[in-house]
């Protein structure tokens, strides 16, 4: 933990993340305006009344960015949880049992990786209706492969350790050994992967919403706010700057925290 504290970037990341989570949780309390209602007759630059200005149809950008953080963080978090669960199941079974099962599962991972996932996501989103739940599920279903490989590698080394043999010797079943004995020993790299994965998921959600296939207006998400801002980049850049800044900061913070955790868990590097 001291090592984490020494890492200024990680601390910065943690503070920013904490702030964003606070904004997301209390968006309804701290937002000065309703994010979906038109409060001015036109777009306005940042002012005391509207700190981040108003958008092309006169909605308060500050409030929209706050509510957007709720959407973006939730989507990122749920997508990562889905990816981690699938990745753990695939990786653990593969690494622990090895042999034919390992070959089959890992070939499936290769196939999934061979698809450019953004096309996969776009295709699925076009076929399904693009709503927030589908966004979470689709991102989760297309981003678990890295976790699976990581967990597999971790299980390959862990299963040779003597505590596993000792667990067999007290009568633990394979499933019990996988989930109760080995998995807790593999948590550290999984947490790192989850942190970095959440950054990726937030970016994917933004990209999807930017393309109109993600969170649907009028619900604000950072991505669809950017899409709306496109046409006004020259005359009203603040419409794009603030959601863009929040995407950047959140992704950067997650990377910093992830790297900080990685250093804590692997002090050798």
CB of 161 to other proteins, least distance (A): 6
**Per the structure block, which two tokens stand in for 101?**
């099962």
Give the C-alpha separation, 239 to 242, whole Å: 7
Is 129 a binding residue for other proteins by CB under 8 A? The answer is no
**Per the structure block, which two tokens stand in for 44?**
């306005």
Is 49 a binding residue for other proteins by CB under 8 A? The answer is no
Is 81 a binding residue for other proteins by CB under 8 A? The answer is no
| HSE-CB of 244 using CA atoms within 13 angstroms | 11
Which of 171, 234, 235, 267 is the binder for other proteins (CB under 8 A)?
171
Give the C-alpha separation, 257 to 19, whole Å: 14
The H or E element that residue 215 is part of is: none
CB of 147 to other proteins, least distance (A): 19
> Which residue shows structure tokens 């933990």?
1
Is 267 a binding residue for other proteins by CB under 8 A? The answer is no
Only segment of 125-133, 142-150, 156-164, 220-228 that touches other proteins (CB under 8 A)? 156-164
Only segment of 39-47, 54-62, 137-145, 176-184 that touches other proteins (CB under 8 A)? 176-184
Angle at 79 (CA atoms; ends 5, 3), nearest 5 degrees:
10
Report, in this order, helix, strand and coil percent for the chain, each rounded to 5. Answer: 75, 0, 25
- Please provide the DSSP assignment of 96-123 as one string: HH-HHHHHHHHHHHHHHHHS-HHHHHHH
Only segment of 122-130, 174-182, 189-197, 205-213 that touches other proteins (CB under 8 A)? 174-182
CB of 180 to other proteins, least distance (A): 7
**Closest CB to other proteins among residues 59, 181:** 181
Only segment of 81-89, 141-149, 167-175, 213-221 that touches other proteins (CB under 8 A)? 167-175
Only segment of 48-56, 58-66, 180-188, 231-239 that touches other proteins (CB under 8 A)? 180-188
Which of 5, 8, 107, 168 is the binder for other proteins (CB under 8 A)?
168
Q: Is the separation of the CB atoms in 33 and 72 below 8 Å?
A: no
For residue 35, the SS3 value is: coil
The beta-strand segments (E) located in the chain are none
Is 157 a binding residue for other proteins by CB under 8 A? The answer is no
**Closest CB to other proteins among residues 8, 168:** 168
Which of 173, 175, 231, 266 is the binder for other proteins (CB under 8 A)?
173
Is 261 a binding residue for other proteins by CB under 8 A? The answer is no
The phi-psi region of residue 99 (left if phi > 0; otherwise alpha if psi is between -120 and 50; otherwise beta) is left
**Closest CB to other proteins among residues 6, 176:** 176
For residue 60, the SS3 value is: strand
Q: Which residues bind other proteins (CB under 8 A)?
A: 161-163, 165-173, 176, 180-181, 184-185, 187
């Amino acid at each position: 933990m001291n090592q984490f504290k020494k890492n200024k970037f990680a601390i910065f990341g943690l503070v920013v993340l904490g702030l964003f989570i606070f904004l997301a949780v209390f968006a309804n309390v701290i937002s000065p305006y309703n994010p979906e209602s038109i409060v001015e007759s036109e777009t306005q630059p940042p002012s005391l009344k509207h700190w981040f200005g108003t958008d092309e149809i006169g909605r308060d950008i500050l409030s929209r960015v706050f509510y957007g953080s709720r959407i973006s963080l939730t989507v990122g978090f749920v997508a990562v949880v889905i990816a981690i669960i699938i990745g753990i199941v695939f990786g653990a079974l593969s690494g622990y049992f090895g042999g034919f099962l390992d070959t089959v599962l890992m070939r499936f991972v290769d196939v999934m990786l061979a698809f450019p996932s953004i096309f996969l996501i776009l295709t699925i989103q076009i076929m399904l209706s693009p709503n927030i739940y589908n966004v979470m599920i689709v991102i989760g279903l297309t981003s678990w492969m890295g976790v699976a490989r990581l967990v597999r590698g971790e299980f390959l080394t862990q299963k040779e350790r003597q505590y596993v043999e000792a667990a067999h010797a007290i009568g633990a079943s394979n499933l019990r050994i996988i989930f109760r004995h080995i998995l807790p020993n593999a948590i550290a790299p999984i947490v790192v992967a989850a942190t970095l994965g959440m950054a990726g998921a937030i970016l994917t959600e933004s990209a999807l919403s930017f393309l109109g296939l993600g969170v649907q207006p009028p619900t604000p998400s950072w991505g669809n706010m950017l899409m709306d801002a496109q046409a006004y980049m020259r005359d009203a850049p603040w419409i794009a700057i603030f959601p863009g800044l929040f995407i950047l900061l959140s992704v950067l913070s997650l990377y910093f925290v992830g790297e900080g955790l990685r250093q804590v868990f692997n002090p050798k590097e």
